[in-house]
Amino acid sequence: REHQQGEREREKQAPRRAGSPMWGSIPGLWDHALSQRQTLNDLTIDEKFHTILTGVFVCFFSCTQLLWNYKLNLTTDPKFESVAREVCKSTISEIKECADEPVGKGYLVSCLVDHRGNITEYQCHQYITKMTAIIFSDYRLICGFMDDCKNDINILKCGSIRLGEKDAHSQGEVVSCLEKGLVKEAEERDPKIQVSELCKKAILRVAELSSDDFHLDRHLYFACRDDRERFCENTQAGEGRVYKCLFNHKFEESMSEKCREALTTRQKLIAQDYKVSYSLAKSCKSDLKKYRCNVENLPRSREARLSYLLMCLESAVHRGRQVSSECQGEMLDYRRMLMEDFSLSPEIILSCRGEIEHHCSGLHRKGRTLHCLMKVVRGEKGNLGMNCQQALQTLIQETDPGADYRIDRALNEACESVIQTACKHIRSGDPMILSCLMEHLYTEKMVEDCEHRLLELQYFISRDWKLDPVLYRKCQGDASRLCHTHGWNETSELMPPGAVFSCLYRHAYRTEEQGRRLSRECRAEVQRILHQRAMDVKLDPALQDKCLIDLGKWCSEKTETGQELECLQDHLDDLAVECRDIVGNLTELESEVMIRTIFFLPFKKR
């Protein structure tokens, strides 16, 4: 049944040609002296035959060992390599890396498998597709993998590498074990066992090569067969479509635990190297090159990380540069993925493990763990270590939910009813949705769950001015001119992100004689932010920091909406100097907003 399903999917992907041989006699299975003319046709038979034999005779050691030796010969036999040179002549001449491979070592076929996405010759594509199915059925057939990972397989106790000891269906378990070892190492400060650099590259390379067709990830394929039929029955295999479909259903109640675990491991590999996602690497290839997000002088481990790719391309978008819609769509999917599952971010695991166990255990799905940690940071459940706070702030910048609220699934679900009523005039996904929600924070249209999720997210957005995309767009010129800021994804010790907004509002109330004022559109945005922050002092980092003692001294009983700021204004003369200056500036700007509302807006309506 599995064999027939796989065949149907492969037939959907590849165009059929009249006269293509499907079944016939099976000459020379045990005799490798095949003519070059027979080889390409018989390969189709061999592929089917090795699948059937493996299923029927898996318990017979001699048969499986003989079959494995036969498949190994397929990848190294000079006759098969000579067929590749004949049917892929034009392709090899176009791919210098393959043309330079030595003869008779099996490297040519492996090289063509690596570059199969670029093959346009029909016969060559058919030949390499079938060779790929054979090679990926057993990790020992993948060129160089055995040499690079032999010691790691033994150290990590991932299974025997002696011939015939494991059946073909269990070979994927060896690669899966190595992948889990690689993932675990990234999540520990002092890992007891480290995967060698050669094997790390080999693991990620194999994951990349299997990124277009989920059949090639043997462990995931067998773990998710039933789930694929349940959730993605109509999804055509190829170009990573089945992976993406399964990712989208990962937190469904009916998703099997073994499939969910396999999907999470693959997502963690994507977090380490974006090329493990076929659709992301393909859709963003030109944009990555255009904006130099994969420059050669950076360490491979850094430039390959999903977080680095997202930050680099988000920077281009925020600067008003053109990034293709296909790439932006992929970015949105993976930003949402990181926001939904905290375990995909090694920094969160490393820095927040204790806090998660203490405050947020059992809340793993749909972004609930991250919002639980955000709630702790706001002081509603306890304290959070500085390393954990910094890891959360970094993750918020990587995912950039301020640019599109739909990235934050917990917020999206909690606020859906409010958005449909209070913000229905704003286009879905527009960054002004968050501003609209803030304007309705304590109105009758707001619901309690939405209020909590909104304030939890805004706490972090308020501590980095770049995370409010409207503010950044209107004020980036002023920030560069007056506050000496750098690019969107760059930081400065002299002007950290949290200090930029303070710098902007210091210039917001300067007179013309004092000079160096904000532009009109930036000033309006600063006033908008201040108006929203007045609803909750925790949304104003400077105010909360400088007025913490005064809040406890004068306003400990003022807990309703806006009461804390009103209390500080009432006790202005009694406040400490630094707190008094901040409250005075806020009061002055608040007055300007009120005057503009009373006197100017009615004239505009007329």
What SS3 string covers 163-198?
CCCCCHHHHHHHHHHHHHHHHHHHCCCCCCCCCCHH
Range of the domain at 106: 61-141
Distance CA 408, CA 398 (A): 12
- 248 and 336 belong to one structural domain: yes
The two structure tokens encoding residue 442: 């304590």
- 98 and 173 belong to one structural domain: no
- 77 and 175 belong to one structural domain: no
Quick one: 476 exposed, middle or buried, by C-beta within 10 A (0-12, 13-18, 19+)? buried
Distance CA 50, CA 58 (A): 11
Query: DSSP alpha helices (H): ranges in 215-324?
Result: 218-223, 225-231, 241-248, 257-272, 278-283, 285-290, 300-303, 306-318
Q: Residue 500 has what pLDDT?
A: 86
User: Identity (one letter) of the amino acid at 180?
Assistant: K
- 191 and 69 belong to one structural domain: no
Question: What global pTM score does this model have?
Answer: 0.74
Instruction: Tell which of 289, 306, 341 closes a domain.
Output: 341
Q: What is the largest CA-CA distance in the chain?
A: 98
Number of domains the chain contains = 2
Contact 315, 361 (CB under 8 A): no
Angle, CA 193 vertex, CA 190 and CA 197 arms, to 5°: 100
Query: Of 414, 497, 399, 398, whose CA–CA distance to 454 is shortest?
Result: 414
Confirm whether 324 is domain-assigned.
Answer: yes
Instruction: Tell which of 309, 341, 373 closes a domain.
Output: 341
- 115 and 206 belong to one structural domain: no
User: Identity (one letter) of the amino acid at 354?
Assistant: G
Confirm whether 432 is domain-assigned.
Answer: no
Contact 136, 218 (CB under 8 A): yes
- 265 and 314 belong to one structural domain: yes
Number of C-beta neighbours around residue 321 at 10 A: 12
- Positive or negative CA dihedral for 332, 335, 340, 341? positive
Confirm whether 403 is domain-assigned.
Answer: no
- Going by the DSSP 8-state scheme, the letter that residue 117 receives in this structure is G
Q: Residue 136 has what pLDDT?
A: 61
Q: Residue 457 has what pLDDT?
A: 93
Contact 457, 392 (CB under 8 A): no
Confirm whether 329 is domain-assigned.
Answer: yes
The structure tokens 């009120």 sit at 594
Angle formed by the axes of helices 497-508 and 469-483, to 10°? 80
Contact 126, 14 (CB under 8 A): yes
Q: Residue 601 has what pLDDT?
A: 41
What would you report as the CA-atom Rg of the chain, rounded to the nearest whole angstrom?
30
Q: Residue 169 has what pLDDT?
A: 41
- 204 and 281 belong to one structural domain: yes
Q: Residue 249 has what pLDDT?
A: 94
Confirm whether 459 is domain-assigned.
Answer: no
Quick one: 243 exposed, middle or buried, by C-beta within 10 A (0-12, 13-18, 19+)? buried
Confirm whether 37 is domain-assigned.
Answer: no
Instruction: Tell which of 322, 341, 360 closes a domain.
Output: 341
Number of C-beta neighbours around residue 480 at 10 A: 12
* Alpha carbon distances (Å) from 501 to 185, 311, 589: 38, 21, 14
- Positive or negative CA dihedral for 76, 79, 83, 85? positive
Number of C-beta neighbours around residue 325 at 10 A: 9
- 210 and 93 belong to one structural domain: no
Run means of pLDDT, 10 residues per run, the chain, 606 residues: 52 40 30 42 51 46 53 61 85 85 72 78 85 62 72 81 44 84 91 91 88 88 94 91 95 93 95 93 92 63 79 90 95 94 91 89 79 84 79 93 94 95 93 93 91 92 90 91 78 67 80 72 88 75 78 73 77 87 73 47 40
- 136 and 177 belong to one structural domain: no
- Rounded-to-10 torsion of CA 489, 278, 109, 122: -130
Contact 540, 533 (CB under 8 A): yes
Distance CA 522, CA 470 (A): 10
Distance CA 172, CA 217 (A): 7
The structure tokens 């045990």 sit at 30
- 90 and 184 belong to one structural domain: no
